[in-house]
A and B are shown apart, each in its own frame.
Chain A
Amino acid sequence: MRIAAPMLAFGLLAAPPALAQAPDAALLAGSCQGCHGATGEGGHGIPSIKQQQTRAEFVAAMRAFRANERPSTVMGRITRGYTDAEIAALAVHFGKPE
């Protein structure tokens, strides 16, 4: 994944140094599943995130939430807590198979 310089800087700042270890996608996905459902299927107006987007689209969407460029209720507040590497891992987990 190519990451624009400003976002990379943001990601690095947001990541404590102890986080050098590779993200555990299935574990991270547990946070998403609390609202989006066990498979990401959504419901009650909460959108499905189960293979709805390509990995690149997923990453772009999360980055737009993070930058407040895409309106949201909670997703902006949530995405600002995750690093680029974690979002990339989640994109592989939830995105369309490639």
Chain B
Amino acid sequence: MTLARRSLLAAAPALAAATLAAPRAARAQAGAGRVVILGGGFGGASAARFARDRFPQLDITLIERSRTFTTCPYGNLVLAGRRDMASITFGYERLAARGVRVVHQAAVAVDAGAKRVRLADGAQVPYDKLIVSPGIDLRWGAIEGYDEAASARMPHGWVPSLQPISVLAAQLRAMRDGGVFVMAIPDNPFRCPPGPYERISMVAEYLKRHKPRSKIIALDAKNGFSKQPLFQDAWAELYPGMVEWRGASNDGRVVRVRPAEMEVETEFGDRVKGDVINVIPPQMAASIAREAGLAAASGWCPIRPTTFESAQVPDVYVLGDATVAAPMPKSGFAASSHAKHAVACIAASLAGRPTPPAVFFNTCYSHVGDDYGISIVGVFRGTPERIVEVEGSGGISPRNEALGARARDFRKLEALYADGWYDAITNEMFG
């Protein structure tokens, strides 16, 4: 959008409205285009649904290798025994019924010059605009000894398509009472910043109920974490003496693992043995994005904060965990927020209309105990240079001491709303 156009719109919102209300046929003709989406997770499925609902002139193809999608969110509740795998697994049938062309093939390459995607079966899928919502890969070997083979003994439970959370859950079920559950937690940035700490909480809930003499030792490569005071309040209140968290300055960074000995080693040589060891390794954007030239040296994909178009490859939009979108967290809700905005920007670009204002949103709930939920909220704006959080908004829920007599009801409501969020967002994608 030119500056003149921007100030014209600013001066006359009524004119903008009139432009948007132009006859549908004219718009459809002008704005038609082929949108191809790689990856059917929170970003890709949300993009497909939003595009199909709102922009009938767009031709939407969703390319996703798997026939089902198991969410990362609520995986920790499988550890607690509150959920089973079926309840966090969804199919693409409804999206297909809504008119999204769903192709269950692996995408193997993006030819950005020819604007087409090559699939594992050799088919070429042309696009006008490409959305890449690939998720993450784990950096095997970043922790010495932690490769794919090691992850069978020391599960990560962090990328459901690589390893379902049920693998870690089975080890937890088999652990003796009085055993030690060890976690290795990575430095920023990584998928789901509060996730490891919700995991500590849900494992603690299970242990308290079934194996109360057991302990959790969480070794962290950083010195602070998301919703930290809320998590630590809850651990002290609900699971006293059970959780030991060690940050980086307390030699918490795990640098080496020995699966045969069921032992991890920290930066300064402390060796910690566990009966169950959960290693969440460092991460990067998934391979398809890196191979397509979308990632920077960091392994993550820089985007234009006003549109989520790749900063490196034109007509390709990158969503979700794979992006550099701080201060937005790598969360499912954030990916869904990126998705809707990117789709609207794509539709606007194809129709020659100005880009809509970039407003992004995130809420992350965590379950920390029975009827005990906590949250972090953020409202963000994209400027040409960066994404900024709106000052004075968002943040974490109040601590119990600040809530006083309201604390119990507040925590109960946040647990209830967490379930509401999960149902709403998964229904929006797959319902």
Q: Per-residue CB proximity of B131-151 to A under 8 Å, as 1/0?
A: 000000000000000000000
* B414 and A73 within 8 A (CB): yes
- In the complex, whether B424 has a CB less than 8 A from a CB of chain A is yes
With contacts defined as CB atoms under 8 Å apart, how many contacts are there between chain A and chain B in the complex? 133
Q: Of A21, A27, A35, A78, which one neighbours B424 at CB under 8 angstroms?
A: A35
* A23 and B357 within 8 A (CB): yes
Question: Which of A1-9, A36-44, A55-63 forms part of the interface with chain B?
Answer: A36-44
The distance in angstroms between the C-alpha atoms of A39 and B95, with both chains bound, is 16
The distance in angstroms between the C-alpha atoms of A1 and B181, with both chains bound, is 57
Within 8 A of B (CB), among A16-55: 16, 18-24, 26-28, 30-31, 33-38, 42-46
Total residues of chain A contacting the partner, CB 8 A:
35
Across-interface contacts of A96 in B (CB, < 8 A)? none
* A74 and B377 within 8 A (CB): yes
Within 8 A of A (CB), among B302-348: 333, 336-337, 340-341, 344
Interface centre among A31, A45, A78, A81, by most chain B C-beta atoms within 10 angstroms, is A81
Given A20-B10, A21-B9, A27-B344; A44-B420 close (CB under 8 Å):
yes
Shortest distance from the beta carbon of B231 to any chain A beta carbon, whole Å: 17
Across-interface contacts of A26 in B (CB, < 8 A)? 54
Q: Of A20, A34, A44, A73, which one neighbours B410 at CB under 8 angstroms?
A: A73
The distance in angstroms between the C-alpha atoms of A75 and B6, with both chains bound, is 31
* A34 and B416 within 8 A (CB): no
* A31 and B337 within 8 A (CB): yes
Across-interface contacts of A23 in B (CB, < 8 A)? 357, 359
Total residues of chain B contacting the partner, CB 8 A:
52
The distance in angstroms between the C-alpha atoms of A20 and B3, with both chains bound, is 12
Given A20-B10, A73-B375; A14-B417 close (CB under 8 Å):
no
* A44 and B337 within 8 A (CB): no
- In the complex, whether B388 has a CB less than 8 A from a CB of chain A is yes
Across-interface contacts of A71 in B (CB, < 8 A)? 406
Chain A residue, CB-CB nearest to B357: A21
* B424 and A33 within 8 A (CB): yes
Across-interface contacts of A43 in B (CB, < 8 A)? 420, 423-424
Within 8 A of A (CB), among B238-284: none
**Residues of A participating in the B interface, judged by any CB pair closer than 8 Å:** 14, 16, 18-24, 26-28, 30-31, 33-38, 42-46, 71, 73-74, 77-82, 86
**Residues of B participating in the A interface, judged by any CB pair closer than 8 Å:** 6-7, 9-10, 13, 16-17, 50, 54, 333, 336-337, 340-341, 344, 354, 356-357, 359-361, 363, 375, 377-381, 383, 388, 390-395, 397, 406, 410, 413-414, 416-417, 419-421, 423-425, 427-428, 431
